[in-house]
Chains A and B, each alone.
Chain A
């Protein structure tokens, strides 16, 4: 899942992950692409660790130290953008 990560596909993957892991499946379908995950405490310290490990191990993307900022963790959409801009095309 390295080269050419499509933003829309990543949004879908991250949304599913957040629903399953942090929102007990989100039975009422409340999570949106622009839901503020930080403000709602969905990405607390534990869940940040779980998410970062998922991005590294399952999506095979290492987010550089410099990209770790509150703005990039705010919503599913901003997380997806951070993943896409961190993913360098393989074979370089």
Chain B
């Protein structure tokens, strides 16, 4: 990594070298590098005029669009950090995040801008992403490699979301690794399937920007529309696809992906976020000659291990390994007796290196290695196989959810006496199921959803809601999640 490069220098550099190449496409518009650069500068001046400067935070709450991407660049250019908010989050939750990280400004537009303004009032600045921009002088504020670049809020087990703080060094250690591993170049066309709040989008945006390639945004509603998603891959001439396995399974099973030949241009299919059932990987490998890469890492470390699918993997009866360390990190296993694991051992995966987060916002800084909470098994060649979680964090179609946070939201309802949330099914069919004990009167299912929708992003709202007289307990008095999950 060039020690003087920061995340916002990627667009600045490519705008110098490839001003007329496409940079970002989506929401019916497209910006070249020059246009993205100009827009980022113009928005940066607006932020400066609101008093945003080095060391501040700015929330970006918007459906995916080139304008939202330009706003993220603008925030970095003034030396501040951007905080993407989930488009499906209620305004109240966005306001809570804004207050939690003491953001100076919120970038939004339309109904969302109105709603968040109503929640937050005059305490912060507002930047309307739909406003036309005027020409402006370049802005580039000097920041350090270990300064905050962005905060990604994730589900928190106690009912409050946690802000994972990532530095310029954190982001670039991963981006530099992936650009080199892919041999990415200006002719590449990256698909952006994940939400901007999800660290998968760091690859799509910044691998593209670092080499002058283009990134093609997939709006949330398109992300799970099977036929249309397959059309998108063909129409946009995607060369590098990166998504959770669920999206690939959906395209294969319901979108007809495998029924037409793989696009010639497609050269890498990358997946992460949850285990990919091996049958799906086999079908993909038969369909395309593109490289198939499995990436692994929690938001706190971004991608810290990787594995490239080789023919021998297809004979396995379980998901492909998560592989070996990357992005300059070191990864090892802490076994139950506290010693470093050897092949055959199982234990918690621990990560140290340049991608390990600065810490959670408002908490003590992260010092030293990060314990992932993921249990892995060490294979004979020293690489890792994912085995499960130590706690109640689950993944539903790649979204990380702390069951405790959903339960806390449910029990805040005046007519819910007790709640347990479990995941039923796996992969694309996984459903978040809430088992509830009613209070003095039984609330309607939509009213429970309405209640959750005021507190949680939609991916955390239970898919199924059912009522029981009492929650089953284990012999030690805890809620019997295993029994609930099997019986739901």
A residues with a Cβ closer than 8 A to B are: 23-24, 26-28, 30-31, 35, 38-42, 44-49, 52-53, 56, 62-66, 68-70, 72-73
Q: Which among A27, A39, A64, A73 has the highest number of chain B CB atoms within 10 Å?
A: A39
Contacts of B222 in A (CB 8 A): 65, 68
Pairs across A and B, CB under 8 Å, 8 listed: A30-B444, A41-B452, A41-B458, A46-B431, A49-B226, A52-B225, A53-B254, A63-B225
Cα A25 to Cα B232 with chains together (Å): 34
Is B88's CB within 8 Å of the partner chain A?
Answer: yes
| Complex: A47 Cα to B226 Cα, angstroms | 11
Chain B 209-228 residues near chain A, CB threshold 8 A: 219-228
Does A28 contact B445, Cβ atoms closer than 8 Å?
yes
Give the Cβ gap from B209 to chain A, nearest Cβ, in Å.
25
The distance in angstroms between the C-alpha atoms of A31 and B397, with both chains bound, is 26
Query: Distance in Å from the Cβ of A22 to the closest Cβ of chain B?
Result: 8
Contact B452 A45 (CB under 8 A): no
Nearest 6 A/B pairs, CB to CB: A41-B461, A41-B458, A30-B446, A45-B224, A28-B444, A68-B222
Q: A44-B458, A68-B225, A70-B221 are in contact. Are A49 and B254 (CB under 8 A)?
A: yes
B235 near A46: Cβ-Cβ < 8 Å:
no
Q: Are B449 and A40 closer than 8 Å at their CB atoms?
A: yes
The size bracket of the interface on B is 35 or more
Select one of B226, B231, B445, B458 contacting A53, CB under 8 A. B226
Contact assessment for A49 and B225 in the assembled complex, using a CB-CB cutoff below 8 Å: yes
Q: Which residues of B contact A62 (CB under 8 A)?
A: 227
B221 touching A49, Cβ below 8 Å: no
Contacts of B459 in A (CB 8 A): 41, 44-45
Q: Are A38 and B88 in contact (CB under 8 A)?
A: yes
Closest chain B residue to A28, Cβ basis = B444
Which of A28, A47, A69, A72 contacts B446, CB < 8 Å? A28
Q: Which residues of B contact A72 (CB under 8 A)?
A: 221
Min C-beta distance of A75 to chain B, whole Å: 13
Q: A48-B223, A52-B225, A70-B63 are in contact. List 12 more A-B contacts (CB 8 A).
A: A31-B446, A38-B88, A41-B456, A41-B458, A46-B429, A48-B224, A48-B225, A52-B228, A62-B227, A65-B228, A65-B231, A65-B235
B219 touches A70 (CB 8 A): yes
CB neighbours of B219 from chain A (8 A): 68-70
In the complex, A41 Cα to B445 Cα: how many Å?
Answer: 12
Q: Which residues 56-77 of B sit at the A interface, judged by CB distance below 8 A?
A: 63
Which residues of chain B have C-beta atoms less than 8 A from A46's C-beta? 224, 397, 428-431, 463
> How far is it, in angstroms, between the C-alpha of A68 and the C-alpha of B255 when the chains are bound?
15
**Would A24 and B458 be within 8 Å (CB), given that A41-B452, A49-B254 are in contact?**
no
Contact pick for B428, options A42, A49, A52, CB 8 Å: A49
- Which residues of B from 434 to 488 have beta carbons under 8 Å from A? 444-447, 449-450, 452-453, 456, 458-461, 463-465
For B369-410 the 0/1 string (1 means CB < 8 A from A) is 000000000000000000000000000010000000000000
1/0 per residue, CB under 8 A from A, across B26-65: the answer is 0010000000000000000000000000000000000100
**With A and B bound together, what is the CA distance between A72 and B248 in angstroms?**
24
> Once the chains are docked, how many angstroms separate the CA of A40 from the CA of B451?
9
Chain A residues near B397 (CB, 8 Å)? 45-46
Nearest-neighbour CB distance to chain A for B400, whole angstroms, equals 14
Instruction: Tell me how far the C-beta of A23 lies from the nearest C-beta in chain B, rounded to whole angstroms.
Output: 6
Q: Is the CB of B453 within 8 A of A52?
A: no
Q: Does B246 contact A (CB under 8 A)?
A: yes
Which residue of B is nearest A63, CB measured? B228
Shortest distance between the CB of A28 and any CB in chain B (Å):
4
> How far apart sit A24 and B450, CA to CA, in the bound complex (Å)?
16
- Choose among B431, B447, B460 the residue that contacts A30 (Cβ–Cβ < 8 A): B447
Docked Cα-Cα span, A44 to B246, in Å, equals 13
Q: Return chain B residues, CB-CB under 8 Å to A40.
A: 446, 449-450, 453, 458, 461
Report the minimal beta-carbon distance from B236 to chain A, rounded to whole angstroms: 10
Contacts of B428 in A (CB 8 A): 46, 49
Let me know if B143 is at the binding interface, CB within 8 A.
Answer: no
